[in-house]
């Protein structure tokens, strides 16, 4: 598999199939069931997902919560008594210690090291201040914010939902709720773990009633999930870091399921990356509770140690997430499923439909 190229994971996607809005009601998405051994396909609805689970399955969710990471700032001039000027879009991407965040800045060409940025509320009051400490590639900056009593509370007040770049509209009030999973609780993601968006409390209740065990991990999704792969061969792919944590009860639940031969069903590629990173770290030992960072790249030929079934949305062409799904179910099976999804007018990407591979 080492000879595969990024372009080998391309497919034709009509732009009108990219979902710009969530479904009218949460949980009303379509679902494509894929037999990963044979490639056999079955069209269904997500409301039927509980029926595809078996008593004794362990369903693992990512409980990360999206923060309103898109902010609007103004530059300050260095001479005193001059007013702030120039509207700047700042997208927080990853924390770096106390009060420091990596961010994408637009327009970034003139935002130099030492630049002071101020962030006004709608009423005009300055509620955040930051200094540019470092300048990186592709608009990346390291910002240091002036200490504030409740940083995330301020973000809730002035920030905007960081909708993906393929959603061509401004965020709306409804996105504050619909771009979160109903089980989110740990703040830190700047993109939603989208496979979880389909669940409702009622569907989760049906799953538990079937005798399925539920566990949670936390992986904070970064904007790197949307970054194009700027290499030709997948052997040269290097991914962004993402922070994750596994609690003691989850580690114990995974270890029990593995020892008893029960299926471990991952809700989303973020859960796959978390569990398989933890297994790689543990080696032959059982999983242990811990926090860390992962840059794991899963592509065809990967030896899965934990995950035995996967619920996931439809991903971008030539993306690392499509490669992960192809590693799990076979490139030809997955690309065949994607062709069927296009022909059957499934909705794609974050607010789109989903597929269950088992």
% helix / strand / coil in the chain, to the nearest 5?
Answer: 25, 30, 45
Looking at 1.10.150.130, 3.40.50.720, 2.60.40.1170, 2.40.10.240, the CATH number of the domain 70-158 comes to: 2.40.10.240
Q: What is the pLDDT of residue 122?
A: 86
pLDDT at 335 over 60: yes
What residue ranges do the domains of the chain occupy? 6-66+175-357, 70-158
pLDDT classification of 136: cutoffs 50, 70, 90: confident
CA nearest to 9, candidates 314, 355, 291, 354: 314
pLDDT classification of 139: cutoffs 50, 70, 90: confident
Mean pLDDT of the chain, nearest integer: 94
> Are 316 and 349 a contacting pair, CB within 8 Å?
yes
Whether 70-158 and 6-66+175-357 are alike in CATH topology: the answer is no
pLDDT digits (tens, 9 = 90+) for 110-119: 788 999 999 9
pLDDT-wise least confident of 75-89, 90-104, 275-289, 310-324: 75-89
pLDDT at 82 over 80: no
> Are 176 and 156 a contacting pair, CB within 8 Å?
no
CA nearest to 191, candidates 158, 155, 227: 227
Instruction: Quote the pTM value.
Output: 0.94
pLDDT at 291 over 60: yes
pLDDT at 304 over 70: yes
Interatomic CA distance for residues 314 and 349, integer angstroms = 5
What integer is the mean pLDDT of 28-38?
98
Q: Look at the block and give the residue holding tokens 């914010």.
A: 145
pLDDT at 288 over 90: yes
Looking at 3.40.1780.10, 3.40.50.10320, 3.30.1490.100, 3.20.20.100, the CATH number of the domain 6-66+175-357 comes to: 3.40.1780.10
């Amino acid at each position: 598999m080492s000879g595969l190229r990024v372009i080998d994971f391309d497919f034709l996607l009509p732009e009108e199939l990219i979902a710009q809005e969530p479904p009218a009601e949460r949980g009303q998405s379509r679902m494509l069931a894929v037999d990963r051994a044979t490639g056999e396909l079955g069209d269904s609805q997500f409301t039927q997902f509980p029926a595809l689970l078996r008593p004794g399955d362990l369903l693992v969710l990512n409980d990360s919560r999206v923060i309103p990471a898109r902010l609007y700032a103004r530059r300050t001039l260095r001479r005193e008594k001059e007013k702030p000027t120039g509207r700047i879009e700042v997208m927080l991407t990853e924390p770096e210690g106390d009060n420091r965040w990596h961010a994408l800045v637009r327009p970034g060409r003139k935002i130099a090291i030492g630049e002071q940025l101020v962030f006004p509320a709608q009423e005009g009051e300055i509620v955040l201040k930051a200094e540019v400490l470092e300048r990186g590639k592709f608009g990346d900056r390291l910002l240091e914010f002036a200490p504030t009593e409740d940083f995330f509370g301020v973000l809730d007040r002035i920030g905007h939902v960081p909708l993906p770049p393929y959603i061509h509209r401004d965020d709306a009030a409804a996105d504050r709720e619909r771009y979160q999973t109903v089980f989110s609780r740990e703040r830190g993601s700047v993109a939603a773990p989208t496979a979880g968006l389909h669940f409702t409390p009622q569907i989760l209740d049906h799953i538990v009633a079937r005798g399925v065990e539920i566990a949670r991990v936390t992986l904070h999704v970064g904007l790197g999930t949307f970054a194009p792969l700027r290499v030709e061969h997948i052997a040269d792919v290097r991914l962004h870091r993402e922070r994750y944590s596994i609690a003691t009860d989850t580690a114990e639940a995974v270890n029990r399921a593995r020892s008893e031969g029960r299926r471990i069903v991952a809700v989303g590629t973020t859960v796959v990356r978390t569990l398989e990173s933890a297994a790689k770290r543990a080696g032959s030992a059982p999983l242990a509770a811990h926090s860390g960072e992962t840059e794991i790249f899963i592509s065809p030929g990967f030896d899965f140690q934990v995950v035995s079934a996967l619920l996931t949305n439809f991903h971008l062409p030539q993306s690392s997430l499509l490669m992960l799904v192809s590693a799990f179910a076979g490139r030809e099976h997955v690309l065949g499923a994607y062709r069927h999804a296009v022909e059957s007018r499934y909705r794609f990407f974050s607010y789109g439909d989903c597929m269950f591979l088992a």
